[in-house]
């Protein structure tokens, strides 16, 4: 992969990393704030735990994505970026452009989706 492309992927990944870090941190703070709010009646309590659960689930997804982005940045550093982590083949350019933190090429992703990897 040429340097210009690597640079543009790096820029996108770093932007995404920053964005996710902000979201993850914020939802953790919101979760705590929901905890601290004094809840008087049962309806409030139910709404509160619903909000907390929602925030929790959401931050879970974001955390997982952040992990993938971090790994992709590591691969940029060690030069294995753009290679499938399973078969070491090149990940399709189009796929990388859509999902720069993709770990697998399309074939391996399909195998993984079917539980074959």
Contact residues for Zn ion, defined by CB under 5 A: 84, 86-87, 89, 105, 108
The Cα–Cα gap between 53 and 81 comes to: 35
The Cα–Cα gap between 41 and 75 comes to: 51
**Residue 34 or 108: which CB sits closer to Zn ion?**
108
Work out how close the CB of 41 gets to Zn ion at its nearest, in angstroms, rounded to a whole number. 55
Work out how close the CB of 65 gets to Zn ion at its nearest, in angstroms, rounded to a whole number. 20
Work out how close the CB of 88 gets to Zn ion at its nearest, in angstroms, rounded to a whole number. 7
**Residue 47 or 117: which CB sits closer to Zn ion?**
117
Taking residue 96's Cβ as centre, other Cβ atoms within 10 Å add up to 20
Work out how close the CB of 6 gets to Zn ion at its nearest, in angstroms, rounded to a whole number. 20
**Residue 7 or 97: which CB sits closer to Zn ion?**
97
Report the b/e string of 12-49 with b at 16+ CB within 10 A.
Answer: bbeebbeebeebbeebeebbeebeeeeeeeeeeeeeee
3-class DSSP state of 90: strand
**Residue 79 or 89: which CB sits closer to Zn ion?**
89
């Amino acid at each position: 992969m040429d340097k210009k492309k690597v640079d543009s992927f790096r820029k996108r990944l770093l932007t995404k990393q920053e964005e996710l870090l902000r979201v993850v941190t914020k939802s953790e703070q919101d979760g705590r704030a929901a905890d601290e709010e004094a809840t008087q009646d049962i309806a409030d309590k139910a709404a509160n735990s619903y909000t907390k659960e929602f925030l929790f689930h959401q931050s879970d997804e974001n955390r997982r994505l952040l992990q993938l982005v971090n790994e992709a940045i590591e691969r940029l550093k060690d030069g294995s970026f753009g290679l499938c982590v399973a078969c070491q083949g090149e990940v399709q350019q189009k796929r990388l452009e859509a999902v720069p933190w993709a770990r697998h090429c399309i074939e391996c992703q399909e195998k993984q989706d079917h539980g074959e990897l």
